[in-house]
Amino acid sequence: MNRQERLKYCKACAHQKIDQQRGIVCSLTNAPAEFEVACTTYKEDPELKHKMEMETIRQQLYLNEADKGKRFVNNLIDGIFCYIFMFFIAIAIGIFVGVFSPESAATFENNTGFEYFLIFISTLTYYVTLEAATGRTLGKMITKTKVIDRHGNKPNFNTILLRTLCRFVPFNALSFLFADRGWHDAWSQTKVVESR
């Protein structure tokens, strides 16, 4: 039995303690586990065992990371839905301005600043609303993927907000070409995985 196999027992044992240099050791012998078949002093700690099982599940989630092809499809689908969403926001603003201030409608024509603002607001709203609520955008729902945090859980609102704001960093979309994870994943400590 090797050290990794022994650690499966030690991580769930009530007699474990952490040594800064050696890692998990037995509090009774003050030494790393060296048993070959079974530990004679093993005493299962239900809380530690549950924690170890949950960590194993989280690691398996990370192993099922969505491939770059699905990530690309997600980006295309979400881009389409963002533009549709932006179109409806623009119509709503146009109706509002037309009803309450028709004389100011000309200020929105060929206004690049307003167009960028509209893109920013619609993209931010789309991603933050969907990913914070469900961990998935419409693109991720179609490709059966989802966002998880570094613990394997659905990310909290602040993590999703950071992840979405990172999307606006120039060349973020190209960051996938040079690394396993894009900047918006790496900086927010999130991952897109296959969902069941």
Q: How would you classify the pairing of strands 145-149 and 23-26?
A: unpaired
Residues 90 and 183 in one domain: yes
* 74-99 pLDDT tens trace: 999 999 999 999 999 989 988 988 88
Which pLDDT band, with edges at 50, 70 and 90, does 63 fall under? low
Can you give the pTM of this predicted structure? 0.66
Residues 106 and 130 in one domain: yes
At residue 179, φ and ψ (nearest 5 deg) are: -150, 165
Q: Which two tokens stand for residue 146?
A: 């989802």
Residues 73 and 168 in one domain: yes
Residues 165 and 99 in one domain: yes
Q: 18, 48, 63 — which closes off a domain?
A: 63
d(CA 107, CA 101): 11
Name the domain count of the chain: 2
Boundaries of domain holding 51: 3-63
pLDDT of 58 reads 65
Which pLDDT band, with edges at 50, 70 and 90, does 61 fall under? low
Residues 183 and 94 in one domain: yes
Which pLDDT band, with edges at 50, 70 and 90, does 62 fall under? low
Residues 56 and 90 in one domain: no
